[in-house]
Structure 1
Amino acid sequence: MGQDFPQSNVFAVIDLGSNSFHMLIAKHMAGGIHTIGRVKRKVRLAAGLNEKNVLSVEAMERGWECLALFAERLQDIPAQNISIVATATLRLATNSDHFKSEAERILGHKINVISGELEAKTIYKGVAHTSACQGRQLVIDIGGASTEVVIGQGFSAELYKSLDMGCVTFLEKYFCDGTLSKNNFNKAISAAAIEIAPIQSQYIDMGWELAIGASGTIQAIQEILAASGESEVLTLERLLAIQKQTMQYASIAQLQLPGLSEERRLVFVSGLAILIALFRSLEIQQMGLAGGALREGVLYSMISDFQNTDIRNRTLDGFTERYHVDKRQAQRVTELSVKLAKQLAQSWQLDMAYITPILTAVAHLHEIGLVVDYKQYHQHSAYILNNTGMPGFSKTEKQLIVALTLGHRADLSSKLFTGLGSQTLLATRLIRLTRLAVILSMRRKDDVLADFAVTMDKADHLHFSFAGQWLSEHPLMLSELEQEATYQHRMSWQLTIER
């Protein structure tokens, strides 16, 4: 019997990294790409390189053993939907052909050892397809044996470089004794600065609006910051504070920072040293975490549908298709919420360019929970969004969208705004508008509303009115709006419905 591939829309990417080997399994459906499996094994291939760049037998065997596990999963996926890439260590190793031939025999597929430049461009593509891509951005990925530094805009990498430094190779060079000393840190940071120096002025001169990190080091630092109750935005001040924390421990073996996983502990300090050097040399002010990197870049390159589209629209289209959203109703709520926001934009100093995509997303996503149950559908909608990736929206934007979705109907609670930080005031204002837009669209029909206006006086007191006697002629709408005024009053928000 011939092999059958009923799911030709399933894809696999394997990344033979210098620290870990990763396998990503994804399905192309409902207008998007959805992860259905991930396997990761710590191989530390780069630790097997000697001073002559010969890869040790022990390191190669660790890699082959891992790939034997991956091979089992690949059997069910069409060959043309599988891509396997190798990076810095196999670029450097003088005996990489020996490793590669045995690895290809195990996997039954060809392995592509990609150049540093192609790796950098592919990482950028992965970030561009999975993160909030706005304006020119700096993307940094600290790998096991190389660090990619890219400046790009949209889907195009404009300036890209792969530097010969990584968290595994720097661990072997500068923390080989395992000691967490100021001297070891300084040596590692200085060495990284020397690697960065040739590209420093070119990158600073080009500039960027947003810096994004796409590696385990950046994620680990975010988790440490979150565990200590701090903002998850990386700054040099916070990196130096974490460095100081690590040096309270005598050795890497003893290192136990809150939020730092055991899996990341060994290569954390070397990655941190490289990141500190990058922040200083490139004058980075702050950095967030990307939604994807190399594997995602390879994956999106395999599927022609995603070569050049609006990521946010693609994300919303995927949700609306998957959860059978009433698109016309979503458009009504969008138009109404944006109209309300424009009327208060000056009074509330709203940045329409920033909030319009947020309001649009909420309008398209607030009803996805209807597929579960009507009674608490807003809670189901928020739960789904909170636990699903939203490519094109930053973490902060996603938190805001979840809060607005959860609070768009029924009782309100101050708990809605927990964890929103500096976004809290904006969230309270947008939630008031969103709730009104949902009520105004309740007939789910076009051209049923008279002209209306919302104005504000002191202390954020809103006044809502319709032209003529329309509201008196529509008692259900009047009742719903008056009930909404009661809900908002319980939050100490004043809303007056003018008859």
Structure 2
Amino acid sequence: MNDARLQATASQSQPLVDGDMLAAIDLGSNSYHMVVARYTLGQLRIVDRLRETVRMAEGLDAKGGLVVEVRQRALQCLARFGQRIRDIPPHRVRAIATNTVRRLAAPQAFLMPAETALGHAIEVVSGREEARLVYLGVAHAQPPKNDQRRLVIDVGGGSTECIIGRGFATIERESVQVGSIATTRRFFANGRLSRRKWRDALIEVSAEFQQFASAYRSLGWHEAIGTSGTNKAIGEICATMKLTKGAITAEALATVRERLLRAEHIDDIDLPSLSADRRPIIAGGLLALEAAFDTLGLQRMMVSKAALREGVLHDMLGRAGDADPREASIAALVLRYGIDQAQGARVAATALALFEQVAAAWSLSPDDRLMLNWAAQLHELGLSIAHSQYQVHGAYVVEYSDIAGFSRQEQQFLAALVRTHRRKVPKSAFEALPDRLLPEARRLAILLRVAVLLHRGHEEADIPDLRVVAEGNMLSLQLPPRWLGERPLLQADLDGEPGEIGALGIVFRLG
């Protein structure tokens, strides 16, 4: 396979032009979805949709492993998706993995063959980032008519996302480990149903929502919207039973639950318009939704056809234009942690000047440039915690925070750059990254290190025109001898770099 096809969201910052095709793939816990769209006159027009029931969450064992049968089912589905989008450039495709992949003990063991089958990189997103993308999809599908708040609930196979937003932006985002497959397996593993079981399960599931229910109810909303397969299925059941015209109400939900519990076993569930492939998991989905209604005090919820995949498409649109949410997230981190913005800007300017000189030789992409710029702005984040080992503190915050717009791999990439911008580079610094990202990460790390050293004084520096040459895994930095001779501390730092960066696998030369 051509390695270029596995570049993670390579060059998504390139502007879209009329006729460009985009694709979004959602590796859900129950189903895999793909939507293909054409960019026309500033808008996205859907040209194709594919959906396959994979039930990935069913294959997750107690140790975080994935059973062989489910793994093969997932890979075969991704191979079929890959055939459909083989002519779409890799930088116009985003594949998003959610709850079940997040819960794998060794996600790379699945992601590597999965990326090969699909022919594209797969991003793992946090629950809150998943929530943001879901809300974005719903907001664009049903644009708000005013500035009022809305609540969006997405009941998936492995988790449920609850979001309060206004316009196209989220205000609150939560993700709980409650979903149609996960909850069915947890409470009805033997398939048997009873009202007593349901009451006990409802108490436990409601506790998950109670963690944030009070804050949500205090904030309030003017309308509630449900999305994804479970909500759509329940909405259709309500309509078929003539309880509503497609919306879900608290009263209708109770009637559907009573109808479901007439069956003593999941296999005997008889709900009108319920598909055969959703029957085995509808109990858990209905239970999760009833718990959400009870704890949040919902009476009525509309159902949207949009979901995460549509949100991913619109996020790609933003990244290709001037609305990349990641920019706002970086700015927010800089403010929150009181990072020296002037120093970050100086380091970023120098790092990017070095980048431009080696980008071609090292095959670095526009997205690599973005990552280097953001890492430069954040490299001193850890100083807000402690000066000693501040690069370690900063890397931890970057890797484990919920940062809107970033996938887990992107945060791990940024964290690796922050971790290695000073002192000796540990061999473990890049362990979290997939192999396909290692060359770029190591090369950006040395560029950031050089830029940081050149601005060690934390003041405006009279830095001469820099010349840097990259060849293979060698980087040569050339500075005017007289200028460097007047700065013995910098000279000593640069002379010591080769001994500090052995783990990068890059040979650094001065002069």
How would you bin the TM-score normalised by the shorter chain? 0.5 to 0.7
1:9 matches 2:9: no
Pick one of 219, 224, 247 that aligns with 2:232: 219
Aligned position for 2:344: none
Q: How far did 1:55 drift?
A: 2.0
Of 185, 189, 205, 2:218 maps to 205
1:185 matches 2:194:
no
1:123 counterpart = 2:137: no
Distance 2:196 2:321 in 1: 47
- Of 253, 270, 274, the residue aligned with 1:239 is 253
Residue in structure 1 matched with residue 124 of structure 2 by the alignment: 113
CA distance in 2, matches of 1:118, 1:284: 24
Q: Are the counterparts in 2 of residues 145 and 164 from structure 1 also a CA contact under 8 Å? A: yes
Cα displacement (A) at 1:60 = 1.4
> C-alpha deviations, 1:442-487, integer Å up to 9, x for none?
xxxxxxxxxxxxxxxxxxxxxxxxxxxxxxxxxxxxxxxxxxxxxx
Q: Secondary structure at the match of 2:51?
A: strand
SS at match of 1:262: coil
**Is 1:258 equivalent to 2:275 in the alignment?**
no
Can you list the C-alpha shifts for 1:360-383, whole angstroms capped at 9, x where unaligned?
A: xxxxxxxxxxxxxxxxxxxxxxxx
Alignment match, 1:276: 290
What SS is found at the alignment partner of 1:299?
helix
For 1:92 and 1:290, the matched residues in 2 are separated by 27
- Answer yes or no: is the 8 Å Cα contact 1:8–1:78 preserved in 2: no
1:158: how far off? 0.3
TM-score after normalising by structure 1: 0.59
2:41 and 2:279 mapped to 1: Cα distance? Answer: 38
Deviation at residue 7 of structure 1 after TM alignment: 8.6
Name the aligned partner's letter for residue 30 of structure 2: N
- Identify the match of residue 95 of structure 1 among 106, 122, 125: 106
Q: Which amino acid aligns with 2:210?
A: A
After TM superposition, give the deviation of residue 103 of structure 1 in Å. Answer: 0.6
Structure 1 runs not aligned, ≥5 long: 309-499
Kindly, what percent of the aligned residue pairs are identical?
38
Structure 1 residue 47: Cα displacement: 1.1
Equivalent in the alignment of 1:19: 30
Residues 188 and 270 in structure 1, CA contact (< 8 A), matched pair in contact too = no
CA distance in 1, matches of 2:262, 2:152: 31
1:210 is displaced (CA, Å) by 0.4
Question: Which has the larger displacement, 209-218 or 177-186?
Answer: 177-186
Displacement of 1:61 after TM fit? 1.5
Question: Which whole-Å CA distance do the structure 1 matches of 2:111 and 2:99 have between them?
Answer: 13
Question: Which one has more relative contact order, counting CA pairs under 8 Å at least 6 apart?
Answer: 2
Q: Where does residue 286 of structure 1 map in the other structure?
A: 300
Q: Equivalent residue for 2:434?
A: none
Letter in 2 for 1:92: R
AA aligned to 2:290 is: I
Question: Equivalents in 2 of 1:264, 1:300: separation in Å?
Answer: 28
Residue of structure 2 in register with 1:143 after alignment: 156
Superposed displacement of residue 27, structure 1: 1.5
**In structure 2, how many angstroms separate the alpha carbons of the residues matched to 1:195 and 1:145?**
14
Equivalences for 1:328-343 in 2 at 5 Å?
none
**Equivalent-residue separation in structure 2 for 1:31 and 1:111 (angstroms):** 26
Per the TM alignment, residue 274 of structure 1 is displaced from its structure 2 partner at its CA by: 0.5
Q: How far 1:256 sits from its partner (Å)?
A: 2.4
Equivalence map 1:82-481=2 (5 Å): 82-134=93-145, 135-231=148-244, 232-304=246-318
2:53 corresponds to: 42
**8 Å contact 2:18–2:40 — kept in the other structure?**
no
Give the Cα–Cα distance (whole angstroms) in 1 for the partners of residues 62 and 91 of structure 2.
Answer: 38
The corresponding residue for 1:404 is none
Superposition deviation, residue 307 in structure 1 = 7.5
Cα deviation, residue 138, structure 1? 0.4
1:68 paired with 2:79, answer yes
Distance across 2 between alignment mates of 1:69 and 1:191: 39
CA distance in 2, matches of 1:256, 1:30: 47
1:166 shift after superposition: 1.0
- Tell me, yes or no, if the aligned pair for 1:300 and 1:306 is still in contact at 8 Å: no
Pairwise CA distance, 1:233: 2.3
- Cα distance in 2 for residues equivalent to 1:74 and 1:132: 29
What residue number does 2:480 align with?
A: none
**Structure 2 equivalent of residue 355 of structure 1:** none
Q: Which string of whole-angstrom CA distances, capped at 9 and with x for unpartnered residues, describes residues 156-201 of structure 1?
A: 1000011111111111111111122113322332221111121111
For structure 2, the 5+ residue unaligned runs are: 5-16, 324-511
Q: What does the per-residue CA deviation read over 1:6-45, in whole Å, with 9 as the maximum and x for residues that have no partner?
A: 9952111111111111111112225432221111111111
* Contact kept in structure 1, 2:98 and 2:130, CA below 8 Å: yes
Number of residue equivalences: 305
SS at match of 2:248: coil
User: Per-residue displacement from partner, 1:67-91 (whole Å, max 9, x unpaired)?
Assistant: 1111111212121110001000111
Range that drifts further, 251-260 or 12-21: 251-260
